[in-house]
Amino acid sequence: MKVPIYSIKGKASKSSATLPDAFAEPIRLDLIRRAVRAARANRRQAYGASKRAGYRHSVSWPGKGRGMARTPRKNGGGGRGAEAPNTVGGRRAHPPKAEKEWDLKINAKEKKKAFRSALAATTQETYVSARGHVIPEKATLPYIIDNKIENLFKDHEDESITKRAISLLGGLGIIEDIDRSAFGKGIRAGKGKRRGRKYRTPKSILVVLSENNGSEKAFRNLSGVDVTTAKDLNTELLAPGGDPGRLVLFSKAAVSALGERL
């Protein structure tokens, strides 16, 4: 499968790049979602209640025969209950356990196939559009950019590298997708807004470079944009939330490095 190579100014050149065979893999939505779910589960940190939670009181029980419930009472607290789950400030009846295992397993072959399926979905306009990405007419997915994108940081001179990145995206006609992410930021629904995740920002494009050479700094301030290398590319980056079809920009060198990896 051949796709055109775009210049650093966003113009399609006469040369083309040959994508690895993995980009023609049949798309297995079930495997992609299993791989993403396993990756997210395996990142979870253990958490649980302290062994002394709810027990930080001096308590006693006067014994039977007084017409009182068998609830521990605070010493000097006027008979106020403590420590038991049915009392204010007492322990939880069934608190989260730090020893609980959240890990999920997935077969190695299934994990590799899920990765190749997620790569193949980046070439399908139907999947990319279903994720909400703004795709210009007559676009060839995925975008392959000339290797000069790897030198944005070295050759920036006095010009801001972020401005050069915006100029590139504008030439490709996908700057609207960045705006979609920026203006789509909103308050999360449900309890999550109380846990340090009040706002939710839609994912925008994914930029894949051959290595971390400083050029990733040109994209890091753009809303919803992720930057990675061909070595660190994974299913979750290609299909955030388990939904395949992310809008991806590869450097020509990254495609070559990805072919060696596959």
CATH number (domain holding residue 202): 3.40.1370.10
Mean pLDDT of the chain, nearest integer: 91
Q: Is the pLDDT of residue 102 over 80?
A: yes
Into how many domains does the chain fold? 2
- Position 88 confidence tier, pLDDT thresholds 50, 70, 90: very high
124 and 192 inside one domain: yes
130 and 179 inside one domain: yes
Q: Can you give the pTM of this predicted structure?
A: 0.86
Give residue 220's pLDDT.
Answer: 87
Q: What is the mean pLDDT of residues 34-61?
A: 94
Give residue 157's pLDDT.
Answer: 62
18 and 74 inside one domain: no
pLDDT in tens, 218-247: 898 899 999 999 999 999 999 999 999 999
The residue type found at 259 is G
Structural domain for 87, as ranges? 45-101
Which residues have CB under 8 Å from 232's CB, separation 6+? none
166 and 74 inside one domain: no
Question: Distance between terminal CA atoms of the chain?
Answer: 15
122 and 210 inside one domain: yes
* Domain boundary pick from 66, 101, 136: 101
169 and 144 inside one domain: yes
If you ran DSSP here, which 8-state letter would residue 39 be given? H
68 and 152 inside one domain: no
User: How much of the chain exceeds pLDDT 90, in percent?
Assistant: 68
pLDDT in tens, 148-199: 888 877 766 656 888 888 988 998 889 999 999 999 999 999 988 887 889 9
93 and 136 inside one domain: no
Residue 248 pairs with which residues in a beta bridge? Answer: 206
111 and 16 inside one domain: yes
Cβ burial of 117 (10 Å; 0-12, 13-18, 19+) is: buried
239 and 175 inside one domain: yes
| Calpha distance 8→135 (Å, rounded) | 18
120 and 244 inside one domain: yes
Q: Name the token pair of 165.
A: 């990145």
